[in-house]
């Protein structure tokens, strides 16, 4: 489902550890900004090494891909729906994207029950999110433009005026290809500007 968002909220930097204790069980939470599933895997791997003797490492992460929500959550052996989903719900409650939240549990010998687990994982996630520095970012869309190299000046004039980021450039003979990151709310106007500046002699993907 498309969210039709021009901007989103995320966290500026990692936070944690935050710790709570519930009936002798210890819950330790962290949150990390991530841009991709690969970022998540790297952070998760590091935490698994650091907390190799923990009982559970539960998590959730939420990304934005093509203006659609993408998320994963995991209970890591806790009863289904008692850990990962409560963590994800706390992320959603703050309307955050591009972050992961981990809650590490050391079992204290007393069972908490379904309701107790949900409350504990929710509180632990909420506690680390509340101390995070939340910022707002523009939703970006990639734009690929192909044109004759002779027109590079006109294209760069538009790119510089709009303060856009070039993430790839490729020059082959008299042809040029640029991949550009464009704020979603500027996308349509930018396409028109590029077409007008080159009198239609440009291929836009």
- CATH number, domain of 185, equals 3.30.70.240
Mean pLDDT for 189-193 is 85
State the pLDDT confidence band at 3, using cuts at 50, 70 and 90: low
Token duo for residue 157? 């004039």
In this structure, is residue 186 part of a structural domain?
Answer: yes
Looking at the structure, tell me whether residues 43 and 83 fall in a common domain: yes
Better-scored residue on pLDDT, 163 or 36: 36
Looking at the structure, tell me whether residues 66 and 118 fall in a common domain: yes
Q: Is the peptide bond before 17 cis (omega within 30 degrees of 0)?
A: yes
How much is the pLDDT for 102? Answer: 98
Token duo for residue 71? 């998320």
Greatest mean pLDDT among 123-132, 134-143, 144-153 lies in 123-132
Looking at the structure, tell me whether residues 65 and 40 fall in a common domain: yes
Better-scored residue on pLDDT, 114 or 197: 114
Looking at the structure, tell me whether residues 20 and 96 fall in a common domain: yes
- Over the stretch 11-33, which tens digit does the pLDDT of each residue have? 999 999 999 999 999 999 999 99
Comparing C-alpha atoms, which of 75, 154, 82 is closest to residue 118? 82
Last residue of a domain, one of 80, 107, 137: 137
Residues of the domain holding 69: 7-137
Looking at the structure, tell me whether residues 196 and 182 fall in a common domain: yes
Burial of 54-72, coded b for 16+ CB within 10 Å and e otherwise, reads bebbbbbbbbbeeeeeeee
Given a cut of 90, is residue 44 above it in pLDDT? yes
The CA distance from 25 to 3, in Å, is 38
Looking at the structure, tell me whether residues 193 and 131 fall in a common domain: no
How much is the pLDDT for 4? Answer: 62
The CA distance from 178 to 174, in Å, is 14
In this structure, is residue 2 part of a structural domain?
Answer: no
How much is the pLDDT for 1? Answer: 43
């Amino acid at each position: 489902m498309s969210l039709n968002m021009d901007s989103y909220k995320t966290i500026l930097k990692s936070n944690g550890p935050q710790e709570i204790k519930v009936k002798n069980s210890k819950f330790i939470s962290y949150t990390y900004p991530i841009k991709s599933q690969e970022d998540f895997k790297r952070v998760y791997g590091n935490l698994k090494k650091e907390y190799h003797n923990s009982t559970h490492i539960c998590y959730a992460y939420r990304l934005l891909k093509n203006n659609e929500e993408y998320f994963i959550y995991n209970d890591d052996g806790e009863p289904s729906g008692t850990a990962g989903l409560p963590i994800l719900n706390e992320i959603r409650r703050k309307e955050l994207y591009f972050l992961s939240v981990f809650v590490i549990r050391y079992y204290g010998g007393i069972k908490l029950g379904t309701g107790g687990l949900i409350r504990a994982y929710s509180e632990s996630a909420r506690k680390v999110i509340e101390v995070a520095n939340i910022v707002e970012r523009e939703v970006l869309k990639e734009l690929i433009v192909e044109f004759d190299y002779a027109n590079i000046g006109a294209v760069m004039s538009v790119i510089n005026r709009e303060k856009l980021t070039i993430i790839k450039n490729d020059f082959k003979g008299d042809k040029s290809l640029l991949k550009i990151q464009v704020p979603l709310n500027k996308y349509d106007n930018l396409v028109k500007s590029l077409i007008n500046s080159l009198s239609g002699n440009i291929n836009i993907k």
